[in-house]
Amino acid sequence: YNGPSIIIAYAHCIAHGINMAESLSHDEMAVRSGAWVLYRFNPDRLKEGKNPLQLDSKKPDIPYSEYAYTETRFRSLLGKDPDRARMLIEAGQKDADHRWFMYSHLADMDYSSMAD
State which residues form the domain around 69: 14-114
Structural domain includes residue 59: yes
For 85-94, b/e burial (b = at least 16 CB within 10 A) is: beeebeebbe
In a domain? residue 29? yes
Residue 18 lies in a domain: yes
Domain for residue 28, yes or no? yes
State pLDDT tens for residues 20-77.
888 899 999 999 999 999 999 999 999 999 999 999 999 999 999 999 999 998 999 9
Q: In this structure, is residue 50 part of a structural domain?
A: yes
How many residues appear in the chain? Answer: 116
Q: Please state the domain count of the chain.
A: 1
pLDDT at 115: 79
pLDDT for residue 12:
82
Longest dimension (CA), the chain: 58
Q: Confirm whether 79 is domain-assigned.
A: yes
Distance CA 19, CA 70 (A): 10
pTM: 0.87
